[in-house]
Chains A and B, each alone.
Chain A
């Protein structure tokens, strides 16, 4: 077994152990008791802003491709 496998294998096992241990615990008070939590019952942002940002990102990346890779 090489060093690469040992390092990343141990990282994976420790991380999974952390997930299974910490995942079952409740989040801290500072996380749970605040006013700006996400309200999963409704979408607070407008659909238009979401589409605008998504399209903006798409156009920006596509423009980079056109300028530098064509």
Chain B
């Protein structure tokens, strides 16, 4: 058995989304082929999640309402946490998560679009462009994720998360504008946004590797939903960061 075949235990991954308790020793080896995770299934399920996200985003885009937007964000965040800790129910939670995120993204995109016309389609194009180009780089072996790569990306993601949490805390409890340059459209603010976009994009490579190895090792079928969910989480983050970056660039002119 190669070391990668022990994948099914999935005990302690570095990626927050992948840090699941995957507690089955050799039980998956005996699964029938139709019950195993495949690349085909994961990509199809990602398509379903994207379609759901677009459908609800269209609703929120045409009927902009803070209630829809914030309820989508809140329920989406809760469902994301639930799915991370219990991937076996991903088939149920991932579609609802995608629908909720669609409501949130549709609402927030309307706000950006009102201020900077044309920004929405730019952000969508760049997000999917990044997804496709990194997938090509991964599949062809141009980018080869290693343990050090994972350490760097996971640490940087954790650092950014900490920064955002402190920023929100300062805005809510400090009454100020939080960490100023995160929102500034100056050179440092744009540089910061570029860095965050790069880290979000490189998280996609970790997602691809997880899905590739998961299908190689025949994880159970529900992990297709989990793989699709993890891609969605990263894509939503990447889209929001690209939207912010474009807004900074446009307001800087």
Contact = CB atoms under 8 A, between A and B. Distances in A.
B118 A45 contact: no
Nearest to A53: B155
B89 interface: no
Interface string B176-199: 000111101000100010000000
Interface majority SS on B: helix, strand, loop or mixed? Answer: helix
A70 B138 contact: no
B196 to A, nearest CB: 10
A24 B43 contact: yes
A69 B159 contact: no
Given A27-B138, A58-B162, A41 B124 contact: no
A53 B125 contact: no
The residue among A20, A38, A40, A57 with the most chain B CB atoms within 10 A of its own CB is A40
Contacts of B162: 54-55, 58
Contacts of A62: 163, 166, 179
Contacts of A28: 139-141
Contact of B146 (A7, A36, A52, A54): A36
Nearest to B137: A31
A38 B127 CA distance: 25
Contacts of A11: 125-126, 128-129
B40 interface: yes
A61 B192 contact: yes
Interface residues of B, number: 70
Contact of B135 (A18, A38, A69): A18
Given A37-B213, A41-B11, A53 B121 contact: no
Contacts of A14: 132
A40 to B, nearest CB: 5
Contacts of A2: 118
A23 B124 contact: no
B128 A31 contact: no
Given A16-B128, A28-B141, 4 more contacts: A26-B212, A49-B155, A55-B159, A65-B182
7 contacts: A23-B39, A24-B39, A26-B212, A27-B138, A38-B206, A52-B155, A54-B158
